[in-house]
Amino acid sequence: MSPWQALKLKFQSLPSREVEGEGPAGAVLLRPGVRGPKPVAFAALKHHDYRAYFITTMLSMMADNIEHVITYWVLFQLFQSPVLGGFAVISHWTPFLLFSVYFGALADRHDCRKVIQAAQIMFMGVSLGWGILFLTGVIQVWHACILLVIHGMAGVLWGPASQLLIHDIVGSEHLQSAVRLNATSRQLGILLGPAVGGGLMLAFGPPVGLFVNTLIYLPLTLWLLKVPYTGRSREGASQVRRRALGLKELVALVREVSTNRAIMSMVALAGFSSLFVGNAFQAQMPEYAHDLGTDKEGFAYSALLAANAAGAVVGGLLLEGRGLLQPRARTAIITAALWCVTIAAFAASTSYSLSLFLLFLAGVFNLTFYSMAQTLVQLLAPPELRGRLIGFFNMSSNGLRAFSGVTVGVLGGLIGVHWSLGLSAMALLAVTITLLALALPGQAEQKWR
């Protein structure tokens, strides 16, 4: 019997008038119109260990972005190579496409604390390597390529294990809050990273700044030494450890997932969003800024770059503060559609102030639908498949971003970046409407099917 068949039998034994479905770890998903428990503001932060993980993860994400700020600036000064800049983007996102499911399986099979520590050590090693190469002045292009690839691989390794760990810390009841706050901490890191990275360069210079950055990864690494969570301590790990790891199993995973309407719709939503739009418009921001009448440098341009992340942070805090928008496939798809409309409006805007507001609003919608989609995948995944399914979700949501440069950037070279972004957003809107129809069958909404 497959995990989905077992889950279906479990569901059928529940009173149908009360619940719509139940996740494998006991997370009840209510039918539309049925009231659940009263939402709790910042529910995940009620857990002491999650508060520590939230802070240390934010520091590590900030360190990740500090490294980007310093290394990209130095590489441009040394080589002034658009090809190397393009490779930096490819090396960051392509590993998600190739290795997310495999690293998800590793998280299923091994202690997630050790998996995360291995990723953090890789990050520290890369920052240390950049610092030494910049200090000695011996860096060559091939050095940069190797370090960029290692950095990208560390990001993929960290993702599934991190999601399993927060699930273990807070349980299914507060998972939506934990995932949303985790996404908020990531955006905080994106906001703070450039400012702190620029400050470290000014105060100490790039090499020493990178040495200092290495230390910022340490709090998370050391904290994991003293906590009891393995990523599966609530369900037990014996069944997971017996599962094989190979191509045959990965094919079987996709076959099993294809029968689950909710998971497939959320994976597709994240994947198409990354494929059509992703964050490719950030790379085109200098041209948008120029067309809006702002200089290429200065506060006005920086505000455009930061508006999306600022919206995600503020939106995450507001949603958590009121305990709003519990995880539902329909809500995730509708907020994704609103994101499409907002991005299309930004592409058409000729007003700087309006564009700034639209980017801020887009950040709110993006965090909302992305965190909700990820929450549903985790809640509905059987424990023995959870890491693999998180990896499958990451492969779709992050790996396909490598191709958004084609839909927005390359197409923008032919018809203009405003038209390419607007048309990409409208194409994505059509896809989300289709997903809404597929995710919501004619009968009562069923998130487990």
Lowest-pLDDT choice from 21-25, 99-103, 378-382: 21-25
Torsion (CA) 217, 222, 225, 231 in degrees, nearest 10: -30
Shortest CA distance to 424 belongs to which of 412, 436, 414?
A: 412
The confidence score (pLDDT) of residue 449 equals: 36
Whether the CB-CB separation of 108 and 386 falls below 8 Å is answered with yes
Angle in degrees, 0-180, between the axes of helices 329-348 and 352-380, rounded to the nearest 10:
160
Token pair recorded at residue 346: 């930004």
CATH architecture, range 40-244: Up-down Bundle (1.20)
Half-sphere exposure of 375 (CA within 13 A, CB side): 30
Separation CA 73–CA 331 (nearest Å) = 40
The confidence score (pLDDT) of residue 10 equals: 44
Separation CA 219–CA 224 (nearest Å) = 9
Whether the CB-CB separation of 305 and 65 falls below 8 Å is answered with no
Residue 154 binned pLDDT confidence (cut-offs 50, 70, 90)? very high
Q: What is the mean pLDDT of residues 387-392?
A: 83
Q: What is the mean pLDDT of residues 57-84?
A: 85
Residues β-bridged to residue 29: 21
Whether the CB-CB separation of 232 and 113 falls below 8 Å is answered with no
Total-model pTM: 0.75
Angle in degrees, 0-180, between the axes of helices 141-170 and 82-109, rounded to the nearest 10:
40
The confidence score (pLDDT) of residue 138 equals: 92
Strands 28-29 and 21-22: antiparallel
Return all residues near 434 (Cβ < 8 A) that are at least 6 apart: none
Q: What is the mean pLDDT of residues 49-55?
A: 91
pLDDT for residue 121 is more than 90: yes
pLDDT for residue 310 is more than 90: no
What is the residue whose two structure tokens read 């409208």? 426
Q: What is the mean pLDDT of residues 187-212?
A: 87
Cβ density class 82-93: b for 16+ within 10 Å, e for less: eebeebbbebbb
pLDDT for residue 412 is more than 80: no
Say if 40-244 and 246-441 have the same CATH topology: yes
What is the residue whose two structure tokens read 């972005």? 65
Q: How many residues does the chain have?
A: 449
The confidence score (pLDDT) of residue 100 equals: 85
What's the pLDDT tens digit per position in 238-274? 444 445 455 566 677 677 777 778 888 888 898 999 8
What is the full DSSP assignment across 299-342? HHHHHHHHHHHHHHHHHHHHHHHHT-----HHHHHHHHHHHHHH
Return all residues near 19 (Cβ < 8 A) that are at least 6 apart: 28, 29, 30, 31, 34
pLDDT for residue 17 is more than 50: no
Tell me which long-range contacts 129-135 makes (C-beta under 8 A, separation of at least 24).
Answer: 130/67, 130/70, 130/71, 130/74, 130/210, 131/206, 131/207, 131/208, 131/209, 131/210, 131/211, 131/214, 132/207, 134/74, 134/206, 134/207, 134/210, 135/207, 135/208
Separation CA 375–CA 319 (nearest Å) = 15
- Residue 26's CB is within 10 A of a number of other CB atoms, namely 11
Spell out the alpha helix ranges (H) of 171-298: 175-204, 206-216, 218-223, 238-241, 247-257, 261-276, 280-283, 285-291
Shortest CA distance to 449 belongs to which of 390, 376, 371?
A: 376
Token pair recorded at residue 190: 């994106």
The confidence score (pLDDT) of residue 238 equals: 46
**Is the CATH code 1.20.1250.20 the one for domain 246-441?**
yes
Token pair recorded at residue 7: 């889950």
Separation CA 68–CA 219 (nearest Å) = 20
The confidence score (pLDDT) of residue 225 equals: 93
Cα angle vertex 58, ends 54, 61, to 5°? 140
Domain ranges of the chain: 40-244, 246-441
Residue 6 binned pLDDT confidence (cut-offs 50, 70, 90)? low
